[in-house]
Amino acid sequence: MSDQLDGKTVGIVLAPRGSEEAEFTEPRDAVTEAGASVEVIGVETGEVETVNNDLDSAGSYEVEKTFADASVEEYDGFVVPGGTVGADILRADDDAVEFVHDFFATEKPLCVICHGPWTLVEADVVDGRQLTSYHSLETDIRNAGGDWVDEAVVVDEGLVTSRNPDDLDAFCDKVVEEIEEGEHEDRETDDV
């Protein structure tokens, strides 16, 4: 365990169902091992079940706070896992979309993987940004004004994106690095 993130609090999302387990647990474990405290945020509190490969049931985890009850000021970084169903549920939830939009405006690290960038598109924060995602989101991101690239992990002024579970090692390393770095005052947020 290191002390890179001592004193920092990281919010990690879980959808009511369909979040990809490894995309939740591996970033959670990486920031915890680096010394951060973690709070799990979702649409509703209580136990939720994650999935493996979108279809197979995985573990059950506790959502501690709803988006409506959370404040962007409470967190030094925020992680949005993928999972096709989970990401689709989140992008259709007004509180989740508003939270992601407002968190992006804080200039603090926002870390999103796989299908999670659907929420970024819905939050209207990808215009002019370079990012990656699961390949099937390329057109959605480009249509929203983003510059989609096919790379394991992309960092654009504290916006950390990654393609899929195969890229989790690179993603987790960047998540820790960017949260340690803190706010990115150069990130253009005037138009969000």
Active-site amino acid positions: 114-115
- CA distances 125 to 39, 53, 101, 116, 175, Å, are 23, 27, 7, 13, 19
| DSSP string across 117-156 | HHHHHHTT--TT-EE---GGGHHHHHHTT-EE---SEEEE
Size of the chain, expressed as the number of residues it contains: 192
């819905």: which residue's tokens? 122
